[in-house]
Amino acid sequence: MDLPQDAAENLGIIRRLMERATVYRALSAPTALAAGFLALAVAAGQIVFHRPPDATGIVGGTPREQSAAFILPWLLTLAAVGVVNGWFLARDARQRSEPFFSSGMRLAFGQMLPPLLAGAVFTVSDLAWGRDPLTTVGIWLLFYGLALLSTSVFAPRSLVGLGMAFLGAALGFATIRLLGFAFAPMFPNFVWAAWVMMGTFGLFHLVYAAFAWRDATAPAVEIT
């Protein structure tokens, strides 16, 4: 037996198994790319096609209709991205010969569920009460950032970085509003909210996709 070679091989197995057991990427790189481009497109559509409400509420709709006009396209985008993410995660699981609902996935989604549920409740409330779209965007940034960071113990660094970016954006955004700085009146809040979505959910995901693609994937380990 070649002891040093045996020892080196065992150390390699330990390292790869540890990585596989402790690292789970809940958001795949292709999904992030799709999410980034979709977010850019939806935000651009909202900026271009937005009709500011007039005093009568006939043109552009009531605050509630404005809120729905802002939120519903994003909920559809979320649903589409969810389907895409599920498809890529299933493909990755097949390639690793793992079940779709692997222990890593259950752990990751169990951690992410509370902040995502909290964000969903606030969104429904905003939709029901017709709140300012900028408030809704602030809530989304905060809870999405918290959801990503909740997986930080076993998530790769790029995903933790994405969570930090969202949380930082949410806190910066909240600080601006708390200090009473109004967004310049050249655009209505609806359009400003779309710009913020473009700069965060659009650009952040594209940057993350680039980092996630660069990350080396661990080779499969077979124990016999």
Partner 1 sequence: MPDFERLDRVIHERARLGIMTLLAARKDWAFQDLKADLKMSDGNLVTHLRTLHQAGYVSITKEILDRPQTRYALTTRGRKAFEDYLLVLEEIVRAARQ
Minimum Å gap between C-beta 5 and partner 1 is 8
Q: Which two tokens stand for residue 5?
A: 């070679």
Which stretches of the chain bind partner 1, using CB under 8 A? 3-4, 7-8, 10-11, 13-14, 17-18, 20-22, 97-99, 102-103, 221-224
Nearer to partner 1, 185 or 222 (CB): 222
Minimum Å gap between C-beta 164 and partner 1 is 24
Asked if 108 contacts 155 with a C-beta cutoff of 8 angstroms, the reply is yes
Q: Which two tokens stand for residue 97?
A: 């010969």
H helix runs in 103-156, sequence order = 103-129, 133-149
Minimum Å gap between C-beta 160 and partner 1 is 18
Nearer to partner 1, 6 or 65 (CB): 6
Minimum Å gap between C-beta 124 and partner 1 is 30
- Phi first, then psi: give them for residue 50, nearest 5 degrees: -70, 135
Angle at CA of residue 73, ends 100 and 107, nearest 5° = 25
Asked if 151 contacts 112 with a C-beta cutoff of 8 angstroms, the reply is yes
Nearer to partner 1, 18 or 128 (CB): 18
Nearer to partner 1, 154 or 183 (CB): 154
